[in-house]
Structure 1
Amino acid sequence: MEQDPLKHILEYNLDLGKNKPDTVHRDESYCPFCDVANLKNVIETRGHMIWLENAFPVLKDSWQTLIIETDDCDGDFSTYSREYAVKLMQFGLEKWQQVKAMDTFKSVVFYRNHGYMSGGTIHHPHSQIVAFKEYDYHEDIKPYHFTGKPILLGDGIEINLSLRPIIGFYEVNLILTDSTKLSAFVNYMQITASYFMRCFVRFNDSYNIFFYDFPGDGALYVKIIPRFLTNPLFVGYMVPQITNSAHAQRFINRLRSALMIKGNPNQRP
């Protein structure tokens, strides 16, 4: 059946969006996520984690929610304690599943931004859960987007460098097939995010984490992507790129080393 191209386009309300607070790109001292007493439409609170409706629902035909991850405005997922990161992921995955279980949306996405180039506007660490009434991301994102050169293979966990990236270059795929290994999986996510922030290239300070699932597949799929200016071939022609084999192998070796050393439960990062 031919796809309706209009179902693959989301309408963004710029008239509403221009009023959004921005503590990432502008020098604004007021952080709405620190002002907990004045938060509106809170759905659930668990410790310092708060799930609430987005005060600026800029996407048409969607239900936009977010999770304020911590009370530390300068915190980041890559630097949370292992215990807190696991609790946060459990909370986020639970809320993601809860929205999907409503069975009133075509698809539900779960992701987080960090840094100037990540597309976010609030510096305070948070994740977003967005439910689409008409758009199904599974029509555009396929399991082959998670195939790649192995970085680390373990019991119930696979980490690879994507050979079929969505945008291109360095997309690290993490695949969890054994839910009992969630703690180790989250630890690997933190190490990968930290690697992109502190060890990858000198001027990188931004990344995204995206979560995916596929019908009939019980695995959890995650992409962690460092963010730079998007390559023009993708902007103009939707052509993703991968790096040359030698450079990719150096990247794999270095990230594998970090994962194996810092991922050892008997060591602290």
Structure 2
Amino acid sequence: MEQNPFTHTLEYNLDLGKTKPDTVHRHEKYCPFCDVKNLKNVLETRGHMIWLENAFPVLKDCWQTLIIETDDCDGEFSEYDPAYAVEMIRFGLEKWHQVQAMDRFRSVVFYRNHGYMSGGTIHHPHSQIVGLEKYDYHDDVKLYHLQGHPVLQSPGIEVNLSARPIIGFYEVNLILSDDAQLPLFVHYMQIVSHFMIHDFVWHNESYNIFFYTFPDDPKLYVKIVPRFLTNPLYVGYMIPQTANEGHRNRFIERLQKALAAASNQPERK
């Protein structure tokens, strides 16, 4: 059955979008996520984490929510205390599954932005959970987008570099098949995120983290993507690119060393 291309796009309200506060690009001093007492439509609070409806629902036919991850406006996921990082990811996964269970959306996306090029407008660390009423991301994102060249394998965890990336070049996938290994999995997420902004082959200050589930598949899939100017072949023709073998192997070797160093640290509870 041929897919309707109009169900594979989201309408963005630019008139509303231009009224959004922007502490990433415009260096505005006021941060709405720090002004906790004036937050509206709060759904749940757990410690310093706050799940609430997005005050600027710019996407049509969507329910937009976000998680304020911490009270530290300059915090960064890769530098969170390991135990707090696990707690935050658990909270996000819980809320993501909760929205999925509402059974009113074709799919629900869970992701986070970091940095100037990541597509976010608020510097304060936060994640987003968006219910999509008319679009199922599984129509376009396939399991092969989460498979690739091995980087690390440990019980219940796989890390790889996409052989068929969604947008191109270096997309690192983490796959969790044993929920008991979530603390180590989150630690690997932190290591990869830190690698992207501190040890990457190009100067880079931005990345995204995307979470995926697939029907009849119990695994949790996570894709971490460094962000910079999108290659024009993807913009014009939707053609992703991968790095040449030599460059790819050097990237994998450096990331393996970073992850191996993390693996040699005491187990994180």
Give the TM-score category using the shorter length: over 0.9
**Offset at 1:109?**
0.1
Measured against aligned partners, the alpha-carbon deviations of 1:177-222 in whole angstroms (never above 9, x if no partner) come to 1111000000000000000111113520000000000000000000
The residue aligned with 1:90 is 90
Q: How has the CA–CA distance of structure 1 residues 267 and 92 changed in structure 2, closer, same or farther, with 3 Å as cutoff?
A: closer
**Offset at 1:3?**
0.3
Check whether the contact 1:7–1:134 (CA below 8 A) recurs between aligned residues.
yes
How far apart, CA to CA, are the structure 2 residues paired with 1:26 and 1:89?
29
The residue aligned with 1:194 is 194
| Structure 1: runs of 5 or more not aligned | none
Where in structure 2 are the equivalents of 1:235-250 lying within 5 Å? 235-250=235-250
Check whether the contact 2:113–2:120 (CA below 8 A) recurs between aligned residues.
yes
Query: Does 2:47 align with 1:52?
Result: no
The residue aligned with 2:161 is 161
The residue aligned with 1:117 is 117
Query: Does 2:257 align with 1:264?
Result: no
How far apart, CA to CA, are the structure 2 residues paired with 1:29 and 1:123?
11
Check whether the contact 1:165–1:242 (CA below 8 A) recurs between aligned residues.
yes
**Offset at 1:267?**
8.2
How far apart, CA to CA, are the structure 2 residues paired with 1:212 and 1:187?
18
**Offset at 1:262?**
1.9
Check whether the contact 2:201–2:251 (CA below 8 A) recurs between aligned residues.
no
Question: Structure 1 counterpart of 2:5, which letter?
Answer: P
Measured against aligned partners, the alpha-carbon deviations of 1:68-91 in whole angstroms (never above 9, x if no partner) come to 000000001000010000000000
SS in 1 for 2:199: helix
Where in structure 2 are the equivalents of 1:211-226 lying within 5 Å? 211-226=211-226
How far apart, CA to CA, are the structure 1 residues paired with 2:201 and 2:210?
21
Question: Structure 1 counterpart of 2:157, which letter?
Answer: I
How far apart, CA to CA, are the structure 1 residues paired with 2:147 and 2:255?
17
Question: Structure 2 counterpart of 1:235, which letter?
Answer: V
The residue aligned with 1:140 is 140
Where in structure 2 are the equivalents of 1:14-93 lying within 5 Å? 14-93=14-93
Check whether the contact 1:12–1:59 (CA below 8 A) recurs between aligned residues.
yes
How far apart, CA to CA, are the structure 1 residues paired with 2:49 and 2:117?
25
How far apart, CA to CA, are the structure 1 residues paired with 2:86 and 2:263?
14
Give the paired residue count. 268
Check whether the contact 2:159–2:173 (CA below 8 A) recurs between aligned residues.
yes
Check whether the contact 1:187–1:263 (CA below 8 A) recurs between aligned residues.
no
Check whether the contact 1:191–1:263 (CA below 8 A) recurs between aligned residues.
no
The alignment-based identity, stated in percent, is 70
Check whether the contact 1:170–1:226 (CA below 8 A) recurs between aligned residues.
yes
Measured against aligned partners, the alpha-carbon deviations of 1:131-168 in whole angstroms (never above 9, x if no partner) come to 00000000000001111000001111000000010000
How far apart, CA to CA, are the structure 2 residues paired with 1:194 and 1:181?
20
Q: Note the aligned Cα RMSD (angstroms).
A: 1.0
Q: How has the CA–CA distance of structure 1 residues 202 and 161 changed in structure 2, closer, same or farther, with 3 Å as cutoff?
A: closer
Question: Structure 2 counterpart of 1:52, which letter?
Answer: L
Query: Does 2:150 align with 1:178?
Result: no
TM-score (norm. length: structure 1): 0.98
**Offset at 1:27?**
1.9
How far apart, CA to CA, are the structure 2 residues paired with 1:223 and 1:98?
21
Report runs of 4+ in structure 1 exceeding 6 Å deviation.
none
Question: Structure 1 counterpart of 2:105, which letter?
Answer: F
| Structure 2: runs of 5 or more not aligned | none
